[in-house]
Copies of this chain bind each other. A is one copy, B any other.
């Protein structure tokens, strides 16, 4: 029988737990239509579960005429918030407080006269949200490049890895007189990666469970794969292929911040019975 080991940090993180329960609580009340703007969290199974319970996912805020609008954990764009206010819709803010901290710090840095750099992925909704609150007056970087500035203020996407943040800051240091960095990488993401990498060294194969669109799960996967080539990113237990485990005695399991416990548990049961 295959021995299965899991990281301590597994299951929903604080922000995801908070977002999901906010929406569930609202759905429990009657009479209100509850819209979620974009996927509430980057996990299709969780989104489907909420949909089953009555949540209505919409991509474009302009399609909502009335009811309750829930802001996703990655935050909302400034213009969306303005629309919601003007339209008189009821807002249910499920933005992760750690994501909001990125925005607060970025706005503070802008006010203080810094050129704001967000270390992150420009396509990710969290980064788009922060940038929108800066009225797009910010630079998104994942690698250092020449920028024209004397004073640079840096924040990081919450799911960023420290190595990338350090690399960008190092590259900017040469160019500027002052650099002020708020390390806004969230503790949970950071610990999860650390534990996963440690576990990966002790096992023969690793399974990283979580949404394919989840930034933190994808980063977790790539980080783990570096130390354990026999690593697979799966969304559900159905993605598992038995041939991965030929000659394997110990399997490590970890999951992204938006991966519910029941999903990693299903994976665990299946692997134990292989």
Residues of A within 8 A of B (CB): 162, 165-166, 169-170, 173-174, 176-183
Contact = CB atoms under 8 A, between A and B. Distances in A.
Contact of A178 (B166, B173, B174, B183): B183
B173 A182 contact: no
Best-buried of A162, A180, A181 by chain B (most CB within 10 Å): A181
A165 B182 CA distance: 17
Contacts of A179: 180-181, 183
5 contacts: A166-B173, A169-B173, A170-B170, A173-B183, A179-B183
B178 A181 contact: yes
Nearest to A169: B169
Nearest to A101: B177
A180 B152 CA distance: 10
A182 B166 CA distance: 16
A214 B182 CA distance: 36
A187 to B, nearest CB: 10
Contacts of A174: 162, 183
Nearest to A178: B182
A181 B174 CA distance: 11
A181 B173 contact: yes
Nearest to A180: B180
Contacts of A170: 166, 169-170
A174 B174 CA distance: 21
Nearest to A170: B166
A180 B178 contact: yes
A42 B166 CA distance: 34
Nearest to A152: B181
A164 to B, nearest CB: 11
A196 to B, nearest CB: 17
A82 to B, nearest CB: 30
A162 B176 CA distance: 12
Contacts of A169: 166, 169-170, 173
A166 B180 CA distance: 13
B183 A181 contact: no
Contacts of A165: 173
